[in-house]
Amino acid sequence: MIGLRSGYVWLLDAKTNQFLFNVKVLDDGAGGVNRIFSSHARIIIESMNSPVIHCWDQSGKNGDKEYSAHNPFNFFMGAESTLTLDGNIKSTFYNDTGH
């Protein structure tokens, strides 16, 4: 995954050196993607100029829908949740599950 200033995340397959797809995950005012954390449980994206942290569940379920969390085309299919802090993000640390 590569995060861009435009708020898009590009997914690349490093094994075959191919571009898979891109998805817009942040609003224009967020200043772009600052950090991406990915684990087997969730994907977390932090923005440059926003106190909001975005998180997508990777359990393979979103309500009634089921999907393969191992398929990169489904990385952002999980339920999205957000956390709003009282200021911009300076530093973060996540354990193996993204907590």
Model confidence band, residue 13 (pLDDT cutoffs 50, 70, 90): confident
90 has pLDDT over 90: no
Rounded to a whole number, what is the largest CA-CA distance in the chain? Answer: 42
What are 54's two structure tokens?
């975005």
Listed by start position, the domains of the chain span 2-84
How many other C-beta atoms can be found within 10 angstroms of the C-beta atom of residue 23?
13
Average pLDDT on 30-41 reads: 90
Q: What is the CATH number of domain 2-84?
A: 2.40.10
Question: How far apart are the C-alpha atoms of 22 and 67, rounded to whole Å?
Answer: 18
Closest of 26, 41, 34, 38 to residue 91, by C-alpha: 34
79 has pLDDT over 80: yes
Model confidence band, residue 55 (pLDDT cutoffs 50, 70, 90): very high
Residues 32/6, Cβ–Cβ less than 8 Å: yes
Q: What's the chain's length in residues?
A: 99
